[in-house]
Structure 1
Amino acid sequence: MCAPTASAVSAQLPIARAHPLLFKTSVPGEDLQFGQFKRFSLRELQLATKGFSPENILEIGAFGNVYKGCLADGSLVAVKRPKEEHPWGGELQLFQTELLMSRLADHQNLLRVHGFCITPTERLLIYPYMATVASLLGATTRQYSQPLLGWPTRKQIAMGAARGLRYLHEQCDFKIVHSDVNSSNILLDENFEAVVGNLGLAKLMDHKDTLITTPICGTARYLATEFISKGELSEKTDVFCYGVMLLELVTGQSHLALELVACQEPVMLLDWVKGLLRKRSSDINPGDYVKDQVEQLIRVALMCTQVNAMERPRMSEVVDMLEQEALAKRYGRSGRRRK
């Protein structure tokens, strides 16, 4: 991952200033868009996380850690804390961006910031506590720490994430490109409804713009070819990342784990899954899956991960396909192209 550049953040500020409820912080020189977000004291969060105990760490990221916390009222939260050695670096930009995006984008399939804490030395973001798709699929440890998700649930997760991205790309006042879609940034509520989270690297674009050029950010194994080679970022970059996440959701394995299949010889994820499709899903991990749903999700995933960004569907098309409104027609065309 990488922090947004100063120019990238400043380009987004005129849009932010168009929105009211400017919150004046107690830190000199900072005027941030906090609006309706609840402000927590540092002491509250220290108590909630047992002093930011290593035992409470949920995730270790490039810019800091996420801690599980229990507030005084008993509610569980996730607390994002930047690394101590860089309290005034790129984390400030990520902090500002995430609050801004949470104000601009309000949808049931997007993770909402619950609150914040800011002091001269700390900038913390507080979210509702939720499991990630990665944790349920064992994508980090390559082990299934919990039972495999049933296929109707997996399709529900795929649909929820798709709807969240469709809103960011096509239904918001401004086009928002997430830039870091992966199974660790798709979270699940108690009903396994998916929400898209971690908007700290998101980019604002006008709906008439097709792409921007930006330093390479995000999770390496999910990045699209055009982003790696040219730094070209668009909503189709998110579509590619969504496709890779969908493949993980279908197979129950991470990209790295899939490279170990076939007698420990390196196998690229897409080639392996294409082989599964040719075999009509006969080698997919056993479970209570529905064959037609497995094939449907693989087909959608392969469309999303096409090398040519222009040939990838828009997220609204993905939602339609998952709702079985346009799958057969589009897959017939895509299948001929991908022989």
Structure 2
Amino acid sequence: MAKAQYIAFYITVCCIAFIVSKIVVSVLLYKRWKRKHLIYEEDGFSGGKMVMFKSAMMQSLKSDELFKKTLKLSYKDIIGSGGYGTVYKLMLNESTAFAVKRLNRGTAERDRGFERELEAMGDIKHRNILTLHGYCTTPQYNLLIYELMPNGSLDTFLHGRSVETKLLDWPSRYKIALGAARGISYLHHDCIPHIIHRDIKSSNILLDQNMEAQVSDFGLATLMEPDKTHVSTLVAGTFGYLAPEYFDTGKATVKGDVYSFGVVLLELLTGRKPTDEEFFKEGTKLVTWVKAVVEHKWEEYVLDSSLKCSPADEINGVFRIAFLCLEPEPSKRPTMADVVKMLEQARSERVVEEY
């Protein structure tokens, strides 16, 4: 009996020591990350706190310059708005500008959206994911400070006023599709824990000065451990882009993002929004419509009119990739890593057909 008690005591002590060591290591790693990434952190601004992350752009800023500029933002500086909040253009000088997303506090859901976005974006560095430069919290509102994308969103180019002055040619659309796919693939496969975006759509794909795609708006993002297959959640996202299984199971998976990306591919190919009744024939499910287009080779009849002289083999290949992404059964959809590979080799239809 005494020996058994000694063994139990020994195991307990070892477990406690292991847990304590993990906590200590976590604290040390966090402090190391903080020293590496933060160049400025200040409490006391209007009862709140401002944090800026280390980057070449932020190095030359004075400690309180950015915050003082945010206090002067007005309706004249608004460049976007929606359920996620209001986005302002913040000019520090002639060569330095930021996009500032303001989220008014007051509801638990708004605060959770801010926390999700901050948690998902805080340590991500990828050429196809919008860079978060810092944030500010106050009792009245939260601010997220992003890199400014001079060419706005893909939605604006395809459906907004800018389409009147500058059309997207096929090489640009292909480049945007591949860049967005690489960004989403990074979230799904290279981040630990994995990140499910849950709101992939054309308005959340922003374009930099080189028309390079950057995935943005992580207010609905969900983190998922590598050994998990899904995360139970409320149905959230944008109608027309949501995967059908969300409504049946209420579970978010990376394959839901794949479905949404398939819808974005169709937008790039057709120039139409997924809510366009004329585009998606009434009473016809999306996947049935796409299947008919692919099987009967109707691509040229539904293609955006500005792409009529584009290479048919590449366009038909991307239609087939979209069809794979839009499979009703999630397990039959490719992963985003597979989608990237297929898009990279879109000039070879054989790659898609052999998948």
Please indicate the TM-score interval, normalised by the length of the shorter structure: 0.7 to 0.9
Correspondence for 1:122: 141
Deviation at 1:31, TM superposition (A): 9.1
- Structure number with the higher helix fraction is 2
Greater CA drift, 110-119 or 318-327: 318-327
**For each residue in 1:92-139, what CA deviation from the matched residue of structure 2 results, as whole angstroms up to 9, or x when unmatched?**
22222222222232211111112323323221112122211111101x
C-alpha distance in 1 between matches for 2:89 and 2:176: 23
The one of the two structures with greater contact order (alpha-carbon pairs below 8 A, sep at least 6) is 1
Decide which of 299, 303, 308 is 1:281's aligned counterpart. 299
Which blocks of at least 5 consecutive residues in structure 2 are unaligned? 1-22, 59-63
Q: 1:234 to 1:27 in 2, by over 3 A?
A: farther
**For each residue in 1:245-288, what CA deviation from the matched residue of structure 2 results, as whole angstroms up to 9, or x when unmatched?**
1111111111123x1249x9666544444444323422112224
Correspondence for 1:44: 69
Larger Rg belongs to: 2
Decide which of 252, 261, 269 is 2:271's aligned counterpart. 252
Q: Which amino acid aligns with 1:242?
A: F
C-alpha distance in 2 between matches for 1:267 and 1:57: 39
C-alpha distance in 2 between matches for 1:237 and 1:224: 5
Q: 1:127 to 1:33 in 2, by over 3 A?
A: closer
Correspondence for 1:62: 83
Q: Which amino acid aligns with 1:64?
A: G
Deviation at 1:229, TM superposition (A): 1.8
TM-score normalised according to structure 2 size: 0.76
Secondary structure, in 3 states, of the residue corresponding to 2:255? helix
Correspondence for 2:181: 162
C-alpha distance in 2 between matches for 1:294 and 1:182: 20
Is 1:192 the counterpart of 2:199 in the alignment? Answer: no
TM-score normalised according to structure 1 size: 0.80
Q: Which amino acid aligns with 1:312?
A: R
What's the C-alpha RMSD, in Å, of the aligned pairs? 3.1
Percentage identity across aligned positions?
34
C-alpha distance in 1 between matches for 2:71 and 2:49: 25
Correspondence for 1:295: 316
Which blocks of at least 5 consecutive residues in structure 1 are unaligned? 1-13, 334-339
Q: Which amino acid aligns with 1:208?
A: D
Give the conservation status (yes or no) of the 8 Å contact 1:239–1:312: yes
Give the conservation status (yes or no) of the 8 Å contact 1:177–1:204: yes
C-alpha distance in 2 between matches for 1:56 and 1:24: 25
Deviation at 1:176, TM superposition (A): 1.1
Q: Which amino acid aligns with 2:91?
A: C
Secondary structure, in 3 states, of the residue corresponding to 2:211? coil
* Equivalenced residues, count: 309
Give the conservation status (yes or no) of the 8 Å contact 1:280–1:295: no
Decide which of 113, 125, 130 is 1:106's aligned counterpart. 125
Correspondence for 2:3: none
Correspondence for 2:223: 204
